[in-house]
Amino acid sequence: MLAETWYVLLAVMLAVYVMLDGFDLGAGVLHLFVAKTNAERKLVLRSIGPVWDGNEVWLLVAGGTMVLAFPVLYARAFSGFYLPLMIVLWLLLFRALGIELRHQVEHPLWRQFWDVAFALSSLVLTVFFGAALGNVVRGVGMDDTGHFFAPLWTNFQVDPDPGILDWYTVLVALNAAVALTMHGALWLGWRTTGEVRRRCDAVLPALFGTTLLLTAGTSLATYVVQPQMGQNLQSEPAWWLAPTLAVLGLVGVRRFAGRERWRGAFFSSCAFLAGMLGSAAAAIFPYVLPARIAERGLTIAGATTEPYALQVALYWWVPGVLLAVLYFALNYRSLPPQLDTSDTDEH
Amino acid sequence: MLAVFVRGAYDAQVLDALIAHRLQFAFTVTYHYLFPQLTMGLALLIVILKTMGLRGDRIANESARFWSKVFGLSFVMGVVTGVPLEFQFGTNWARFSEAAGGVIGQTLAMEGVFAFFLESSFIYLLLFGEKRLGPKLHWGSAVLVWLGSWLSGYFIVCTNAFMQHPVGYRVRDDGTVVLESLSAFLTNPWAFAEYAHTMIGAAVTGSFVVAGIGAFYLLSGKHLPYAKKFLQVATITGATASVLLAFPTGDIQARMVAEHQAPTFAAMEGHFETDLGVGLVLVGQPNMDTLALDNPIVIPNALSFLTHHRWKARIAGLTEFDKALWPDNVPLLYYAYHIMVGLGTIFIVIMGMAALLLRGGLLFRMRWLLWVLLLAIPFPFVANTAGWMTAELGRQPWLLHNLMRTANGYSDNVSSGNVIFTLLGFMGLYVGLSVLFAALVLKIIGGGPSATQESA
């Protein structure tokens, strides 16, 4: 039970990460397209400036939580995904510099360089995060000791020893990239006014349509690629909550966005993303990292540590994260309700 | 004969991978720590300056604003170079994480939950919220950022302390090291000593940077009121911290090493033969062929006295221990330790003198001492780095002292070629980062404190 509790907490952490950092990643993808002038680009950056770093911390804390509760998962997955994780690290580095260094020098070429760095790294990160999720859901090519070392790609087939990129993970990657871009568009639409918002409004139908199509495709493909999903949905109807939440989220995005109610649409998109991650959990439970040869997969029980450690960690982890939620509430509440290009704030 | 060659080739491969993994972690963590030591030191000085500002000292408040800019830039560098370290426990040290993650995961997660959330939520307010928050709340956000950065230090040092001196654990039948007592793990005596020494080391770095820039402004005849404020605050903080660094924190730390890591202690001190009344080596090079020091200059009996408070106390020499327990690079460990101690001694002299000469503003007219302060800026970085090299080389050949060898901890599914490839990538990126940081920090310093406007 304890290990299952941590499974849920870790999934929640990752879901919060995707909902929060998702919008600033999405804003990054759109940066060059919805913001043309320097004032508009500053506007995009100011809408995420006070919060993006905190958002990214959820990823780091999820990582720490994984070491804490599932050390075997952390060790096997991180070493097995060595090369893509190194690329992710370098992208995170460029992205952080893009956001934080742009305003340090007043020179158009300097700004242009970091604008592109920010946009490109955001785009590639959404693709990588999607591919990562796809790999976890599909399962990896573990040997009989439970270890693996995944190449970037092989023949793009979902076979017993696949690469990071195959047709399935590419599909999930595209789905993630488009869904997070939509998430970013909704954030910018909610938090800004003027041209930036108008352009977000203009791309929204295309983003929504593509998300819808890709989500349908991913769901179907997952059903085929990961048989555990069908089993779980059959044996435990409560799992249906996750895909239902995702569908309701999408419906919400459509309804709210159609009536220019950005806030509602943004929160619906949060529900959609949470539902999708919940569905991913539903597709692999009780594994934390399935293998292509099912019985080699790493289960919750096989990945965890002493019950004492799991127990005692709850006593500080839960209040600690509640405290963090309080900081976030304070921070988000202190954001100006809506930004426009006339402000001359530094960020 | 063939079997020997085949076997030899195999071992060489293992050695390659081990060294590659070690080099990558060593490089990325060494580079990373150039920034946190500065931000943790500056955070303290900013709190001091903000506190003076709150009491009506306008120059101090504007100085805090100026140093917050440098802090912000260094913080970004610290974050982007810090994330790879958390990843590398898993990517490069998978067997270690698998065996001990159930223990060190506690502090790694605590660092995120208690420190990173705090810092990331309040740093923006410190940097951009002064007008909006008003003096008291802005002071509060400076305090919270300082608290966050120093808490972060504790969790990392506590993680390292577990590797140096494991407590609160139990070894399961399958060989994994699991947590038995969280309170014992968090109150590791080694962690307290190491934390005090490390944080004060960061305060010394911050002080030297602030004092050095103050000296630079005075020497160039610019921003004079700020320059004097920098020197005043930083030399007093720096002198206090430099003394505390040697005594009691350095002293406690060294005696802890002597007690729990005796071979390491002998290697650090360049002490090869067990003896009574052992001298303190000031100069000399360890010669691993003769197992003695070349051209030693020694203070007789001093090491015995410092370690056991008796002039004729016995101290075990390195040759008393099985070679398998020796740190795997004795000369490097010895040099790192002696550079740290030597520089630490010089810091006390420089900062002590500068602080004493503050009286009547004498310091502000002594150009040679201002030059010394300016040129001293890099050396606390060297000393902190050498200190960490002493700790980490001294821990060898163990990853977890007396529990797990470093050679058994790296990810054996990641080959040396992959690691050298990514190591070169990190090196290239970090050269770029260094250029960026240097350019931007020089721009801030060139602009000067009076150019630092209050922001909304």
- Least confident stretch, A223-227, A335-339, B89-93: A335-339
| B84–A contact, CB cutoff 8 A | yes
Over residues B40-66, the mean pLDDT reads 96
| B417–A contact, CB cutoff 8 A | no
Over residues A2-8, the mean pLDDT reads 95
Over residues B293-305, the mean pLDDT reads 92
| B113–A contact, CB cutoff 8 A | yes
Question: What is the DSSP-derived secondary structure letter of residue A159?
Answer: -
pLDDT for residue A335 = 84
- Mutation target among B92, B126, B413, B414 for the A interface, most CBs of A within 10 A: B413
Give A109-148 pLDDT, tens digit per residue.
999 999 999 999 999 999 999 999 999 999 999 999 999 9
pLDDT for residue B11 = 58
Over residues B254-262, the mean pLDDT reads 94
| B115–A contact, CB cutoff 8 A | no
Chain B residue with Cα closest to A304: B102
pLDDT for residue A136 = 95
pTM: 0.94
Q: Are B71 and B21 in contact (CB under 8 A)?
A: no
How would residue A272 be classed by pLDDT, with cut points 50, 70 and 90? very high
Round to whole Å and give the CA distance between B83 and B195.
21
CA count, 13 A, side-chain hemisphere, B243: 9
Instruction: Give all strands (DSSP E) within B106-187, no chain letters.
Output: 169-171, 177-179
Over residues A17-29, the mean pLDDT reads 97
C-alpha dihedral sign at B29, B32, B36, B42: positive
- Give the torsion through C-alpha atoms of A165, A168, A169, A173, to 10 deg: 120
Of B97, B176, B411, the CB nearest to A67: B97
% of chain B exceeding 90 in pLDDT:
91
Q: Please report residues of A whose CB lies closer than 8 A to that of B79.
A: 53, 96
Of B97, B112, B182, the CB nearest to A75: B97
Q: Are A159 and A172 in contact (CB under 8 A)?
A: no
| B408–A contact, CB cutoff 8 A | no
Question: Who's near A23: CB < 8 A, 6+ residues apart?
Answer: A48, A55, A180, A183, A184, A186, A187, A266
Give A86-106 pLDDT, tens digit per residue.
999 999 999 999 999 999 999
pLDDT for residue A159 = 84
CB contact under 8 A, A74 and B124: no
What value does the mean pLDDT of chain A take?
Answer: 93
Chain B residue with Cα closest to A302: B98
- Among all chains, which residue has been given the structure tokens 């408040």? B61
For residue B10, pLDDT over 60 is answered with no
Q: Please report residues of A whose CB lies closer than 8 A to that of B124.
A: 49-51, 53, 331
Of B87, B92, B116, the CB nearest to A57: B116
Round to whole Å and give the CA distance between B318 and B268.
10
Over residues B37-48, the mean pLDDT reads 98
| A82–B contact, CB cutoff 8 A | yes
For residue B456, pLDDT over 50 is answered with no
- Among all chains, which residue has been given the structure tokens 């960020």? A347
Neighbours of A203 (CB within 10 A): 16
pLDDT for residue A155 = 84
Over residues A304-310, the mean pLDDT reads 95
CB contact under 8 A, B179 and A86: no
For residue A331, pLDDT over 90 is answered with no
How would residue B12 be classed by pLDDT, with cut points 50, 70 and 90? low
Chain A residue with Cα closest to B85: A89
Nearest residue to A293 via CA among A167, A169, A160: A160
How would residue A81 be classed by pLDDT, with cut points 50, 70 and 90? very high
pLDDT for residue A263 = 94
CB contact under 8 A, B116 and A80: no
Chain A residue with Cα closest to B126: A50
Over residues B136-164, the mean pLDDT reads 96
CB contact under 8 A, B179 and A312: yes
How would residue A257 be classed by pLDDT, with cut points 50, 70 and 90? confident
Number of CB pairs, chain A paired with chain B, less than 8 A apart? 201
Task: From the options 3.60.21.10, 3.40.50.300, 3.30.43.10, 1.20.1630.10, give the CATH code of A2-333.
Answer: 1.20.1630.10
Round to whole Å and give the CA distance between A29 and A182.
10
The two tokens of residue B242 are 């430099």
| A2–B contact, CB cutoff 8 A | no
pLDDT for residue A318 = 96
Round to whole Å and give the CA distance between B266 and B269.
5
The structural domains of chain A, with segments of one domain joined by +, span 2-333
For residue B86, pLDDT over 60 is answered with yes
Q: Please report residues of A whose CB lies closer than 8 A to that of B123.
A: 53
| A318–B contact, CB cutoff 8 A | no
Round to whole Å and give the CA distance between B103 and A134.
30
Q: Are A228 and A290 in contact (CB under 8 A)?
A: yes
For residue B4, pLDDT over 50 is answered with no
Q: Is B46 helix (H, G, I), strand (E, B) or coil?
A: helix
Between β-strands B280-287 and B292-299, what pairing exists: parallel, antiparallel or unpaired?
Answer: antiparallel
% of chain A exceeding 70 in pLDDT:
98
| DSSP assignments along B242-296, one per residue | HHHIIIIIIHHHHHHHHHH-HHHHHHHHT--S-EESPPEEEEEEEETTTTEEEEE
Q: How close does chain A come to B361, measured CA to CA in Å?
A: 35
The structural domains of chain B, with segments of one domain joined by +, span 2-274+316-451
Residues of A numbered 191-230 whose beta carbons fall under 8 angstroms of chain B's beta carbons: which are they?
none
Question: Who's near A234: CB < 8 A, 6+ residues apart?
Answer: none
pLDDT for residue B2 = 47
Over residues B299-326, the mean pLDDT reads 92
What value does the mean pLDDT of chain B take?
Answer: 93
Question: Who's near B146: CB < 8 A, 6+ residues apart?
Answer: B43, B44, B46, B47
| B27–A contact, CB cutoff 8 A | no
How would residue A343 be classed by pLDDT, with cut points 50, 70 and 90? low
pLDDT for residue A347 = 46
Give B167-194 pLDDT, tens digit per residue.
999 999 999 999 999 999 999 999 999 9
Residues A133, A138, A143: CA angle, nearest 5 degrees: 110
Of B72, B80, B108, the CB nearest to A97: B80
How would residue B1 be classed by pLDDT, with cut points 50, 70 and 90? very low
How would residue A151 be classed by pLDDT, with cut points 50, 70 and 90? confident
Torsion angles phi and psi, residue B270, rounded to 5: 65, 40
- Mutation target among A68, A298, A322, A325 for the B interface, most CBs of B within 10 A: A68
| B29–A contact, CB cutoff 8 A | no
Identify the residue with better confidence: A297 or B454: A297
Over residues B55-82, the mean pLDDT reads 95
Q: Please report residues of A whose CB lies closer than 8 A to that of B132.
A: 334
| B304–A contact, CB cutoff 8 A | no
Q: Which amino acid is at A172?
A: V
Over residues B396-418, the mean pLDDT reads 93
**A250-272 b/e (C-beta count within 10 Å ≥ 16 → b):** bebbbebbeeebbebbbbbbbbb
Of A60, A78, A316, the CB nearest to B116: A60
Q: Please report residues of A whose CB lies closer than 8 A to that of B117.
A: 54, 57, 61, 320, 323-324, 327-328
CB contact under 8 A, A345 and B455: yes
CB contact under 8 A, B97 and A49: no
Radius of gyration for chain A, computed over Cα atoms and rounded to the nearest angstrom: 20
CB contact under 8 A, A328 and B121: yes
CB contact under 8 A, B109 and A68: yes
Q: How close does chain A come to B103, measured CA to CA in Å?
A: 7
% of chain B exceeding 70 in pLDDT:
95
Q: Is A153 helix (H, G, I), strand (E, B) or coil?
A: strand
Chain A residue with Cα closest to B80: A93
| A79–B contact, CB cutoff 8 A | yes
Beta bridge partners of B404: B400
Q: Please report residues of B whose CB lies closer than 8 A to that of A72.
A: 98, 101
Q: Please report residues of B whose CB lies closer than 8 A to that of A79.
A: 90-92, 94, 411, 413-414
How would residue A333 be classed by pLDDT, with cut points 50, 70 and 90? confident
Q: Please report residues of B whose CB lies closer than 8 A to that of A52.
A: none
CA count, 13 A, side-chain hemisphere, B291: 11
- Mutation target among A48, A305, A311 for the B interface, most CBs of B within 10 A: A305
pLDDT for residue B323 = 93
How would residue B452 be classed by pLDDT, with cut points 50, 70 and 90? low
